Amino acid sequence: MASATSSTTSGIHLPDSARELVKILVAGPFGVGKTTLIDSVSEIRPLHTEEHLTEASTTVDDLAGVRDKSTTTVAIDFGRISLTGGIVLYLFGTPGQERFRSLWDDIAYGALGALVLVDSRRIEASFDVLGLVEESGLPYAVAFNAFPDAPRHYSEEQLRAALDLDPGTPMVTCDARERDSSLDALLALVQHLIDRHPPESR
């Protein structure tokens, strides 16, 4: 399985060891931690397209469970992380609101897989995003972002059943604020992609 390089790349240039450049979506509902995850792992200064939430958006954005959130991604977040073995992940964070759904096909174009972040306090908020990922045919992994007040009593079987996940879909827990934890979630997706398409078959 791939792992992170021992130190992040200095500057903006790709390491000389780069061999496989892989586009990955970081998807999930509004306020689930996509921007935070990309911030925590990116070896370059991440690109953000965040704007402040306004009174006008309260009629179209569901703030249930994320009342403290003051900004939102309106196009993409972008970051990059180099792994051992010459694999470089380009991370594209997708907007979480329904009103930005028209951007989905453009952002997803050329992606090899998706990491779908889920908030166990509001699992139902992830259904639309999971539907988009599945409709696009992208292989994906699910990562439950460990919010401090998230319920801990659900079993893996209950969570899989709630999301109607295929048995082969990786499901992990991560803390999007922590680099190592976020990286482990991305590595679970990378291993899933490798298992589906081993090097000798590509």
The 10s digit of each residue's pLDDT in 11-40 is: 677 777 888 999 999 999 988 999 999 999
Whether the Cβ atoms of residue 174 and residue 181 lie closer than 8 Å to each other = yes
Whether the Cβ atoms of residue 179 and residue 81 lie closer than 8 Å to each other = no
Q: How far apart are CA 77 and CA 188, in angstroms?
A: 21
* Whole-number average pLDDT of the chain: 84
Whether the Cβ atoms of residue 116 and residue 140 lie closer than 8 Å to each other = yes
Average pLDDT over every residue of 151-156: 90
Whether the Cβ atoms of residue 166 and residue 148 lie closer than 8 Å to each other = no
pTM above 0.85?
A: no
